[in-house]
Amino acid sequence: MIGEGIFTQDGHHWKRSREILRRQFARIQYQDVKVFDRPLDDMLASVSSYKGTVDLQPFFFRFTLATTTSLIFGEVSSGLPNREHELFEKNFDYCSLISAIRLRLADLCWLYTPRKFRKACDDVKEYAGDYVRQALQDKDSNGFEAAFERHPFILDLYNELNDAALVRDQIIHVLIAGRDTTACLLSWTFFNLVRHPKTLKRLCQEIELTTGSGTELTRAQINKMPYLKCVLNETSRLYTQIPQNIRVATQTTILPKGGGSDGLSPVLISKGTGVEYSPYLMHRSKEIYGEDANEFRPER
């Protein structure tokens, strides 16, 4: 579904993608937070129209899709009422579900490739490809410098890769990183805050003290909110975005621990061997975080 990009590359190709994307994210880091205004207003308006209990997660996913396209692709778009964005969300979520099933099948994944899955993958690529085509058409019509002001991310990628399909694939990877991870972090953060009223109260006090009344939020103000950072870090610790991961040895080596019946003896790792580990379990280790490792406590 996601093609060739930073999440599916290894070695030199991964390093190159990382360097290219790092340069773009460094630029985005200093952008004005006003880019969040419209998507946030749209989300709040949609949530306020509901009565009773509201499932916030779908709204978070639409919000992060809108902010990602705005921050990275230079297009301020509301992901809430637009059918094109809603169709992308539906196709993307379906592709993710089927991909998870295929992952469990490993080398036999080719046995399960539904027609609907193939169609959804094509639609996801078409969605991302639209941004690339618009940027390249802008470059051809108005010149590189003028187009670069509006589409710096895409045109910088194109200068490096010189292949519209590769640029499209990298965009899909960025959409995954910008939409899913942030939406899940928001979901778990709210999940924790409503269950810990004292934490919520302290966080609100910090925000009010830092921003004052009637002032617009700035990145400088956000950087002056240490407790907010603690809340987000603690949420990420308990509900990490990647609960399991794997690394492949680039050369034969010996680890000091991990072998034997007690796991304390040295263990040989041959070149090409995959080593799976669980950040989820590591983040909840009592040896590292104490007896309350499973508790939500931002003060730690």
DSSP string, 141-201: HH-HHHHHHH-HHHHHHHHHH--HHHHHHHHHHHHHHHHHHHHHHHHHHHHHHHH-HHHHH
Tell which residue, 294, 80, 259, 68, has the closest CA to residue 172: 68
What SS3 class is residue 42?
helix
The pLDDT score that the predictor gives to residue 224 is 92
CATH number for position 34: 1.10.630.10
* Domain of 66, in residue numbers: 11-195
Q: Among the listed ranges 2-6, 36-40, 138-142, 227-231, which one has the minimum average pLDDT value?
A: 2-6
Helical (H) or strand (E) element with 267: strand 265-269
291 pLDDT band (50/70/90 cuts)?
very high
Residue at a domain's end among 195, 212, 229: 195
Q: Does residue 279 form part of some domain?
A: yes
Same domain for 128 and 19: yes
Judge contact between 139 and 155, C-beta under 8 A: yes
The structural domain count of the chain equals 2
Residue at a domain's end among 176, 195, 214: 195
Same domain for 151 and 249: no
Check pLDDT > 60 for residue 81.
no
Q: Does residue 203 form part of some domain?
A: no
Same domain for 183 and 73: yes
Same domain for 42 and 132: yes
The residue written with tokens 């509201």 in the block is: 54
- Written as six digits, the tokens of 296 are 């939500």
Same domain for 165 and 66: yes
Query: Strand locations in 2-65, DSSP E?
Result: none
Beta bridge partners of 269: 253
Same domain for 163 and 96: yes
CA 220 to each of CA 99, 128, 261: distance values in angstroms, whole numbers, following the listed order: 40, 32, 53
User: What is the C-alpha separation between 42 and 34, in angstroms, rounded?
Assistant: 14
Judge contact between 296 and 199, C-beta under 8 A: yes
Find the mean pLDDT for residues 200-218.
87
- Written as six digits, the tokens of 63 are 């919000």
Same domain for 150 and 44: yes
Same domain for 189 and 70: yes
216 pLDDT band (50/70/90 cuts)?
confident
82 pLDDT band (50/70/90 cuts)?
low
Q: Among the listed ranges 34-38, 76-80, 150-154, which one has the minimum average pLDDT value?
A: 76-80
For residue 9, the one-letter residue type is Q
CA 39 to each of CA 13, 61, 87, 114, 181: distance values in angstroms, whole numbers, following the listed order: 34, 11, 18, 34, 17
The per-residue pLDDT for range 109-165, each reduced to its tens digit, is: 888 999 999 999 999 899 889 889 999 999 999 999 999 888 888 898 899 889 999
The per-residue pLDDT for range 252-288, each reduced to its tens digit, is: 999 998 888 888 899 999 999 988 899 999 999 999 9
The pLDDT score that the predictor gives to residue 153 is 86
Same domain for 151 and 32: yes
Q: Does residue 212 form part of some domain?
A: no
The residue written with tokens 């709210």 in the block is: 190
67 pLDDT band (50/70/90 cuts)?
confident
The pLDDT score that the predictor gives to residue 56 is 95
Judge contact between 182 and 64, C-beta under 8 A: yes
The pLDDT score that the predictor gives to residue 80 is 42
The pLDDT score that the predictor gives to residue 1 is 62
CA 201 to each of CA 41, 150, 187: distance values in angstroms, whole numbers, following the listed order: 23, 41, 18
- Written as six digits, the tokens of 32 are 């004005």
Beta bridge partners of 265: 259
Find the mean pLDDT for residues 164-193.
91
- Written as six digits, the tokens of 115 are 């027609």
Find the mean pLDDT for residues 159-178.
87
- Written as six digits, the tokens of 97 are 């579900």
The pLDDT score that the predictor gives to residue 149 is 84
Round the CA-based radius of gyration of the chain to a whole number and report it: 22
What SS3 class is residue 82?
coil
- Written as six digits, the tokens of 277 are 């580990």
Find the mean pLDDT for residues 50-74.
86
Find the mean pLDDT for residues 175-197.
93
Share of the chain above pLDDT 90, in %: 43
